[in-house]
Amino acid sequence: MPPKPEVSPLAARVNTKESYVDPSGKNPDTGDSDKSGLYIEENPRHLVALGRLYEGSTTVHNIPLLHDQVKVCVEEVRDVDAPIHVPTEKVKLVRQALNTFLAWPTHLVKRLSK
């Protein structure tokens, strides 16, 4: 039998739930993405967070995105009490969404100029 690999308690841990976002903004499946403003519909539209857009993704937490949704992650909260457009069991307000993947309506995501 082959020897068992030694695993150090300091070894990197991998999150398998796909709910946490690498703070570096890098996704091995989609590459780097542009920082974007995440808005909610009010009159006028209201910026509630800054995050990264993951184009080409088709699911969030194993749930298919609708044709008018994109996958984003929240990197900076601007309005802690703003509701999430597609809430989950654990994330209903923007303050709960930091470093989490979310589905967001395409028309409410605006790329920030570089």
Look up residue 79 and give its DSSP letter.
-
- Alpha carbon separation from 6 to 10, 14, 51, 66, 111 (Å, rounded): 11, 17, 38, 44, 45
* pLDDT tens per residue, range 78-94: 999 999 988 888 999 99
Amino acid at 15: N
Q: What is the band of 2 on the pLDDT scale with cuts at 50, 70, 90?
A: low
- Alpha carbon separation from 38 to 4, 23, 48, 54, 111 (Å, rounded): 47, 17, 6, 13, 9
Question: What pTM was estimated for this model as a whole?
Answer: 0.69
* pLDDT tens per residue, range 31-88: 456 799 999 988 788 999 999 999 888 999 889 999 999 999 999 999 999 999 888 8
Amino acid at 76: E
